[in-house]
Amino acid sequence: MDIKEFIKYTKKADEIMMAAFAHTGFSIPEANTLWSHVLSAQHIWAKRMLNEQPQYAVWEVLLPENFEAIYAANLALLEDIAATKSPDEVINYANSAGEVFSSTVGEILMHVCNHGTYHRGQLAKMLKQAGYAVPLTDYIMLKRQGLV
């Protein structure tokens, strides 16, 4: 799968998940914390690829009323990076513990998308346990519906 397609899927699946949270009135604190982490991680990775300092810490709890704006900014950055940088470009960066690593743009974008998928599964479980409907975010289902 092309990384741009994976970003497109991530965008749609995340939008569906955010709508599900909004439906709850953001009433599940653990889900808000985990969604904050997803948004912060997207932001941090985008900023690493741009060699810029991130605004958020990896487990910073964000205000639910800011989720949509932060998400839109993150996706704009990720889509721009995918469109303008070579997937083979090497990015040197330090993690939150200060350890230095090198990864390609393609590897980082794949990680960002996969990271979101992993946590959407956890979030779906939280929604179900709280008695809410679990949103459909499976790639193949969204593809069949023409949403990706």
Range of the domain at 11: 3-144
Instruction: Quote the tokens at residue 60.
Output: 């910073």
85 pLDDT above the threshold of 90:
yes
What does the pLDDT average to over 13-20? 95
Q: What H or E segment, with its residue span, contains residue 69?
A: helix 67-84
Are the beta carbons of 120 and 13 closer than 8 angstroms?
yes
* Measured CA angle at 23 (ends 17, 24), to 5 deg: 100
What's residue 129's pLDDT?
96
111 annotated as ligand-binding: no
What does the pLDDT average to over 89-111? 95
Share of the chain above pLDDT 70, in %: 99
Binned at pLDDT 50, 70 and 90, residue 91 comes out as very high
What's residue 81's pLDDT?
98
Q: Which stretches does DSSP call E strand in 54-126?
A: 90-94, 100-104
Q: Residue 84's Cα: distance from chain center in Å?
A: 19
40 pLDDT above the threshold of 90:
yes
pTM over 0.75: yes
102 pLDDT above the threshold of 80:
yes
Query: Residue 111 maps to which CATH number?
Result: 1.20.120.450
Domain count along the chain: 1
96 pLDDT above the threshold of 90:
no
Please choose, from the candidates 58, 114, 106, the residue with its C-alpha nearest in 3D space to the C-alpha of residue 81: 106
Binned at pLDDT 50, 70 and 90, residue 110 comes out as very high
43 annotated as ligand-binding: no
| pLDDT, tens only, 50-59 | 999 999 999 9
